[in-house]
Amino acid sequence: MNSAMRISPATGRSMINPVAGTPSRAPRTFASHRIRHKSPCGRGVRPRRVPGGGHRSYPRSTGTVRFQVAAGPWKTIATWGKHPGAVGSRFGPSYIHGDAIATQTGTTLSVTHDIQDKPVRLVAVDLDGKELPAEIPSVGGAKDFRQLVVEFDQPPERIKDFRLQTRPYEAVEIPRIALRRK
């Protein structure tokens, strides 16, 4: 489901709604920022002078919604065969990958990497050159490292190589959203 966040005017809480035009199964991140102005007239209300010397109060509670969708093309940052290996880099991504292990249903592989703030995926390329998507039964991490354990529906003998890929997030920000109805 493709989605975006909105702020409920009734509760001031975030809710997720569909967004047209985003790729299906695209990784998404959401954040909301809520602003409240406090005043002696009450929570979220700011006094305003009106003709005749009185005050009128109006809501000043607004919020900003930020969301990101991984919508760009995938870029291959590493390619390797079926044997274990590692690459360490001071200025680029570092990763460790294990042996491609045959299972009853295909192949499993684990990869540990230090790629931050980007969606990451692992694909296999079969002997015909076709990219095979991975099922990800396990994801974990510690400090700056993330580990993926993935499964492919082809046996290791049918896989030519593996590719570690990333793509950028596209960010959208919607400022000054009223959190209360007038």
Report which of residues 150 and 28 the model is more confident about: 150
The one-letter amino acid code at 109 reads L
Q: Among 24-33, 56-65, 87-96, where is mean pLDDT lowest?
A: 24-33
Structural domains in the chain plus CATH codes: 4-70+170-178 (no CATH), 75-166 (2.60.40)
pLDDT band at 31 (very low <50, low <70, confident <90, very high): very low
Q: Is the pLDDT confidence value at 145 over 70? A: yes
Q: Is the pLDDT confidence value at 100 over 80? A: yes
Q: Provide the pLDDT for residue 81.
A: 92
Top-ranked range on mean pLDDT: pick from 1-15, 45-59, 136-150 = 136-150
35-85 pLDDT, tens digit per residue, is 444 444 444 445 555 555 554 444 457 888 888 888 889 999 999 998 999
Q: Provide the pLDDT for residue 16.
A: 47
Q: Are 87 and 80 in contact (CB under 8 A)?
A: no
Q: What proportion of the chain, given as a percentage, has pLDDT over 90?
A: 41
Average the pLDDT over 3-27 and give the result: 47
Q: Are 132 and 155 in contact (CB under 8 A)?
A: no
